[in-house]
Amino acid sequence: MLDVQSIRQDFPILARKVNGNPLVYLDNAATTQKPRQVIRTLVDFYQQHNANVHRGVHTLSIESTDLYEEARAKVQRFINAPVPESVIWTRNTSESINLVAYTWARANLQAGDNVVTTAMEHHSNIVPWQQLTRQACAELRYIPVDDDGLLQMDAAANLIDERTRLVAATHVSNVLGSITPIHHLTRLAHSAGAVIMVDAAQSVPHMPVDVQAIDCDFLAFSAHKMLGPTGIGVLYARPELLDAMPPFMYGGDMIIEVTYEDARWNDLPYKFEAGTPNIADAIATGAAVDYLSNLGMENVQEHERQITEYALRRIREVEAVTVFGPHDASLKGGVVSFVHGNIHPHDLGTALDRMGIAIRTGHHCAMPLVRSYGVVAAARASFYIYNTKEEVDLLVDGILEVERYFAHAGAK
Please name the amino acid found at residue 336.
V
Number of neighbours of residue 294 by Cβ within 10 angstroms: 9
**What is residue 188's DSSP assignment?**
H
Q: Where does 200-352 show beta strands of DSSP type E?
A: 218-222, 233-237, 255-258, 263-265, 321-324, 335-340
Give catalytic residue positions: 365
**Coil, strand or helix at 227:** coil
Sheet holding 335-340, edge to edge: 321-324, 335-340, 378-382, 360-362
**Coil, strand or helix at 309:** helix
Q: How many helices (H) and strands (E) does the chain have?
A: 15, 17
Residue 235: CA atoms inside 13 Å, Cβ hemisphere, count?
30
379 close to 367: Cβ distance less than 8 angstroms: no
Q: Which helix (H) or strand (E) holds 21?
A: strand 21-22
How many angstroms separate the Cα of 206 from the Cα of each of 41, 101, 113, 302, 323? 22, 26, 34, 9, 21
Number of neighbours of residue 303 by Cβ within 10 angstroms: 23
